[in-house]
Amino acid sequence: MDQTVPENLIMVKKESGGIAVITINRPKSLNSLTRAMMVDLAKAFKDMDSDESVQVVIFTGSGRSFCSGVDLTAAESVFKGDVKDPETDPVVQMERLRKPIIGAINGFAITAGFELALACDILVASRGAKFMDTHARFGIFPSWGLSQKLSRIIGANKAREVSLTSLPLTADVAGKLGFVNHVVEEGESFKKAREIAEAIIKNEQGMVLRIKSVINDGLKLDLGHALALEKERAHAYYSGMTKEQFKKMQEFIAGRGSKKPSSKL
């Protein structure tokens, strides 16, 4: 079942197996974003959270670019629009989404596109993919998290170099720095993203949501408080379980234990 917003600039495809695919579809403009596209993208991610048929979201771009950033020909409508409204902010809605988001990155992920990639939980990039922060080049102040998130992933010195020079961070280097999970050959990023999504779907979905949440919430804290958060949520989870739920857990573990382990990611 395909659901698309007007002009198909943001496409949403829901598959029967629990995977939804959100695609930025403006390839002639290298998937640059207008204000209307941002609003539609935010709505697409918000809708995923309440849709019980969706367990994992794959996020990608059509053509030879993931997202080349904001359409600067419409910069005023973008930057002077209601940018503080979380309902129309795609990054806020991605961060609020309880389900895993896997980014399949081909070609360029520039500035706003870089920030959208940073909002994914897992990243797969084609070998030719490039991540660029051009905020400093064009006099744009970052507002989707790049100035804070990148340094926490690749280290402050490398993040300063990427942002202050506006030079590209290649997929291979991003992989070595731990920003990209998998670097694959051209045209293979979506296939690998699907493999990861299918592996996630095989697990107990309630726990998938809880583990994503405790990891992401813990990253906002120092280690001591993050460990306390894990302990607190674990205690609340097990304290709330009934004997029937423990029995189902044991049956699930026994059933999975009888199967051959799947191949490594």
* CB-count burial class (<10 Å; 0-12, 13-18, 19+) for 1: exposed
Give yes or no for residue 44 having a pLDDT over 90: yes
In terms of DSSP bridges, do strands 169-170 and 2-4 run parallel, antiparallel, or are they unpaired? unpaired
Give yes or no for residue 84 having a pLDDT over 80: no
pTM, entire model: 0.89
Ranking 135-149, 191-205, 244-258 by mean pLDDT, the lowest is 244-258
- Look up residue 51 and give its two tokens: 């849709």
Q: What are the tens digits of pLDDT across the range 171-193?
A: 999 999 999 999 999 999 999 99
Q: What is the mean pLDDT of residues 221-243?
A: 94
Ranking 18-32, 53-67, 70-84, 109-123 by mean pLDDT, the lowest is 70-84
Beta partners for residue 59, in sequence order = 22, 103
The set of long-range contacts for 174-179, using a CB threshold of 8 Å and a minimum separation of 24, is: 174/123, 174/125, 174/129, 174/131, 175/125, 177/153, 178/153, 178/154, 179/123, 179/131, 179/150, 179/153, 179/154
- Cα–Cα dist 5/11, whole Å: 7
Ranking 35-39, 96-100, 251-255 by mean pLDDT, the lowest is 251-255
* Distance of alpha carbon 217 from the chain centroid: 15
Query: Cβ(139)–Cβ(178) under 8 Å?
Result: no
- Cα–Cα dist 124/191, whole Å: 10
Taking each helix axis as running N to C, give the angle between helix 205-218 and helix 223-239, from 0 to 180 degrees, rounded to the nearest 10: 150
**What does the pLDDT read at residue 5?**
43
**What does the pLDDT read at residue 4?**
45
Q: What is the mean pLDDT of residues 195-205?
A: 95
- Cα–Cα dist 195/44, whole Å: 22
Give yes or no for residue 6 having a pLDDT over 50: no
- Cα–Cα dist 46/54, whole Å: 12
**What does the pLDDT read at residue 30?**
94
- Cα–Cα dist 228/31, whole Å: 42
